[in-house]
Each structure stands twice: as C-alpha cells, then as structure tokens.
Amino acid sequence: MDERTKVRFTETVLRDAHQSLMATRMSTADMLPIVETMDEAGYYALECWGGATYDAAIRFLHEDPWERLREIRKRAPHTKLQMLLRGQNLIGYRHYADDIVDKFVEKAVENGVDIFRIFDALNDTRNLQASLQAVKKYKAHAQLAICYTISEVHTIAYYTALAEELAEMGADSICIKDMAGILTPKVAAELIPAIKKVIDVPLNIHTHATSGISQMTYMAAIEGGADIIDCAISPFAEGTSQPPTESMGLVLEELGYDTALNVFKLEEIADYFKPVRDRYLASGELDPKMMGVDPKALIYQVPGGMLSNLNSQLKQAKASDKYEAVLREVPRVRADLGYPPLVTPMSQMVGTQAVFNVLTGERYKMVPNEVKDYLRGKYGKTPVPIDGAFRLQIIGDDEVITDRPANHLEPEFEKLKAELGDLARNDEDVLTYALFPQVGKAYLEEKYAPEKIAKAISYDDKGNRDAAEDIIRIQARYRR
C-alpha cells in the first residue's frame, strides 16, 4: 500500500476551463472523442456540467445539455462526474422553488452526476438547504463550497466558522472556491490548516490562474493539508482558467505526493485538445487576451468567467476600449452592494451594472431588475449591510425580505409543465423551461420541429455527430 500523502485532481477542461476562457462555447462534439481516455487518466473527478454549460448549450450551441451529460457518462464509467450547482439558483439566475430544486437534482443524478459542488453567491447557508437535502435524498455526493472573497468581514475566522457550519450541515466534502484567483499563498497557508482543524471531510481547493499566483497558492494549500485541487489540461489552462494538470501533477509526484495520475494519458489528452484550442483561437471564440496573466485581478477581484463575459459584452457593444474603465468600476459597484463574492449570479449583476455605469456615463442611471431584486433581499443576506440611502435610491420603499428567499416561492414544477403543454416531452424539458423561460422555450420549439426530429443529432462511439438515426427511435426517445 502506497503511504505517500494523497492529493487528488479534479479536471475542469469540460466545464470551468472553457467557461472561463471562452464564455462556455466548447461543443459536445469537441469533448466526446477524448472522454474515454480521460476516464483512464486517474482523475478524482471530471467537472463536466453545471455552471454556465446548460445556458450556453441551449442559447448558443443549440445542443441538449442533458444529452451531453448522458454521452459523457457512457464514456466515463470509472470516474466521478461533477457539476457546479448554484444552490437555490440551480444553474439559472434566480431562486427556484424547492420542488424545482428537488426535481433538477433527481434528474441530474439519474443522467450521471456523482458530485454536486453546491455554493451560494452570498455564502448564505439558508440557500444551500434544499439542494443539499435533495443530493442526500438521491444518494449523491454533496460538496458544499465557500465562495472566497476579500472584504472587511471575510476573515480567517469567518471562513473557518463557515466551514465548520457546512460540515455540521452534512457536507461530504468542502470546497474553497476562489473564482477570481485572489487567494494568496500567505492566506492559504493560514486558512487551510485552520479549516482542517474544524472539519473531518476532504477539503477541495479551486482557484484560477488569472493573477499569476495559482501554482504557489496550490502548493501552500497542499502543504496546509488540502486533499483535492482543480486543474485544467494544459491547452486550456492558465489565464482565466486553472493551473495546468500535467505541471502540477509532475511537481507533486517529484515532491513525493501520490496523485494517481497517469502522465501518458495526460499527454494524449493534451495532444487532443491542442488543435481544438487552436481552432477556437482561429475562429475568435477564444480571445488570446483571456490566456494571459493579469495581476490587476488581485486589485479588482474579478473571476475568470466574468472577465471573458465582460470582454464579450463590450465587444458586442463595440466598446472594447472601455474594458479597463469597467474593471475599475467593478470594485465600486461591489462595495455599494455589500461586498458580495463575485460568482454567478452576483458576478453577472455586478459586471452588468459596472458596464451600464460606464457606458451611460452616469452611475445607476440604468439598473437591471436582478440588482433591484438583490436589494429587495430576494437573493439572501448580504455580507455587509447595504447603505440605507443607496437602497432607497434604487428601490424606494419596496419591502425587503429577511428570511430564506425560497420560503416565498410556491411549488412551480407542475404549473410550468402544464404551461409548456406539448413541448413538455419529459421532465428535463420542463426544467429547461423553468430555468430559462424564453430561451428554453425557443430551444424546445426548435428541437421538436418536425424537420429537426427527422434530422436529430446523435453521437457514435467515437463522439462523432450522426444525423441519420432512425426517425421512429428518435421520436420514441423524445416522447419518453
């Protein structure tokens, strides 16, 4: 038996790496041919679903996210599949009723998810309760995550107490989710041992390479007792993504750690993804700007996925020259909103508000409804109390919720199923509509158009797309 200290790797190339580098535009067809090899590489888990993948699949790629999950599951029978779940927000941008949370988790487990990394953008543990309960109910692994950020209240003591609370809630493992790459080696060296003292479950560290310090942070975290780290295979590593899997694996093995990784399989995986990356670079979907190092992240505290989305937003508005101005505005908006961690959906809210403030030339001249709902308490408790005058300026004397926001939501699955009518061919369709009403309905109308059914896409054993399925079998599958 190998007695070396074990450090396990979660591979992010199928989810967070491309979400952070290129706004979640990698297609299923580009993933599937290499999944069998990834299943043999010794990973602890493959993060392949959740986050923005569902939204991007139906909104931009015209793909079925559930089909992607099923096809990956077929090709990776030996490795745990992991998804990112936004607590009561699931993979959408508002809070959903508890029955939607339960149904979503049920179907995700049924289709192949083993590990649910569950977080709340405000670290409001009330917003984790329903999803945690559902994951336990359907006998999957609940990894509860702490969104790491920096402010006057986000101290070592704060995070240690939060980790202890998550463990007491029933977490199977805990993740420190450093979405902006701002966890420094010094803080990691203090934080990880402090948390390890109060929990008895594995501790997973997640960071981004944005600021250029990620490998140093991982080494400090591992020396402090971290059990699992998140990395991306090298062609989709660094920049706003994660540190490279191969490099971290080789260094840790040299230092005497047991990583369980097969370096030869990692080489195959990297060789596969190099031309995939180059193709996205050539098409412009992967902006080279996202692959560089930006130490300003330590000042602005902007996560990788947010950077790529801000860049994309400004390009569409033909305002790329405003990129730096928007980055400078982000910390100001965040302070106004009570220092929320910059993770979905808060990163979108803060980022969009910063863009509006810069492009209109007047702060808060335009305020999205989501920001107004946030100030009404509909997303949970803010880390720092909102200034009363600021709240009054934005929402007037509207009522502010102080208890668990989902307590105010009526069950909605059956109502939405009836509302969707003939387009509700299965529970997954209802969930698509529930999570993204307009985009989801348009996607389902396209999916079930007669000509689309006749040409429905499937995948062969090597991940190649095949449009020649027998129409009877297709229709039977869509009507199950």
* Nearest in space to 51 (alpha carbons), one of 117, 142, 127: 117
Identify the bridge partners of residue 176 per DSSP, sorted by sequence position.
Answer: 146, 205
Q: In which residue are the tokens 């990583």 written?
A: 259
- Residue 307's pLDDT is 74
CB-based contact 93:370 (threshold 8 Å): yes
Taking only the tens of pLDDT, the chain with its 480 residues reads 346 799 999 999 999 999 999 989 999 999 999 999 999 999 999 999 999 999 999 999 999 999 999 999 999 999 999 999 999 999 998 899 999 999 999 999 999 999 999 999 999 999 999 999 999 999 999 999 999 999 889 999 999 999 999 999 999 999 999 998 999 999 999 999 999 999 999 999 999 999 999 999 999 999 999 999 999 999 999 999 999 999 999 999 999 999 999 999 999 999 999 999 999 999 999 999 889 998 878 877 776 667 777 888 888 888 889 988 998 999 899 999 999 988 878 888 999 999 999 999 999 999 999 999 999 999 999 999 999 999 999 999 999 999 999 999 999 999 999 999 999 999 999 999 999 999 999 999 999 987 665 555 566 655 665 543 433 333 333 333
15, two tokens = 């989810």
What's the token pair of residue 162? Answer: 């939060």
Residue 435 DSSP code: H
Phi, psi at residue 112, to the nearest 5°?
Answer: 135, -5
What integer pLDDT is reported at residue 476 of this predicted model? 36
How far apart CA 72 and CA 77 sit, in angstroms, is 9
The whole-number pLDDT of residue 344 equals 79
- Residue range 313-352, pLDDT digits in tens: 888 888 889 988 998 999 899 999 999 988 878 888 999 9
Quote the pLDDT of residue 471: 32
Element (H, E) at 363: none
Which residues contact residue 25 at a Cβ distance below 8 angstroms, ignoring those fewer than 6 apart? 18, 56, 60, 61, 280, 285
Q: Tell me the per-residue pLDDT of 100-151, one tens digit each, with 9 for 90 and over.
A: 999 999 999 999 999 999 999 999 999 999 999 999 999 999 999 999 999 8
Q: What angle (nearest 5°) sits at the alpha carbon of residue 255, between those of residues 252 and 260?
A: 45
Based on its alpha-carbon atoms, the radius of gyration of the chain, rounded to whole angstroms, reads 22
pLDDT of residue 457: 59
**26 Cβ contact list (under 8 Å, min separation 6):** 14, 18, 276, 280
Q: What 3-state class would DSSP assign to 306? A: helix
Handedness of CA 113, 116, 122, 127 (dihedral sign): positive
d(CA 108, CA 73): 11
Q: Which residues contact 278 (CB under 8 A, 6 or more apart)?
A: none
In whole angstroms, what is the distance from residue 432 CA to residue 446 CA?
13
Q: What pairing do the DSSP bridges indicate for beta strands 173-177 and 80-85?
A: unpaired
- Per residue in 145-201, pLDDT (tens digit) is 999 999 889 999 999 999 999 999 999 999 999 998 999 999 999 999 999 999 999
Distance CA 125, CA 404 (A): 9
Burial class for 426, CB neighbours closer than 10 Å (0-12, 13-18, 19+): middle
Whole-number Å distance between alpha carbons of 52 and 69: 14
- Delineate the domains of the chain, giving CATH numbers in brackets: 8-289 (3.20.20.70), 302-406 (1.10.472.90), 412-478 (no CATH)
pLDDT at residue 306, as a whole number: 74
pLDDT of residue 345: 84
DSSP assignments along 210-256, one per residue: TTS-HHHHHHHHHHTT--EEEEB-GGG-STTSPPBHHHHHHHHHHTT
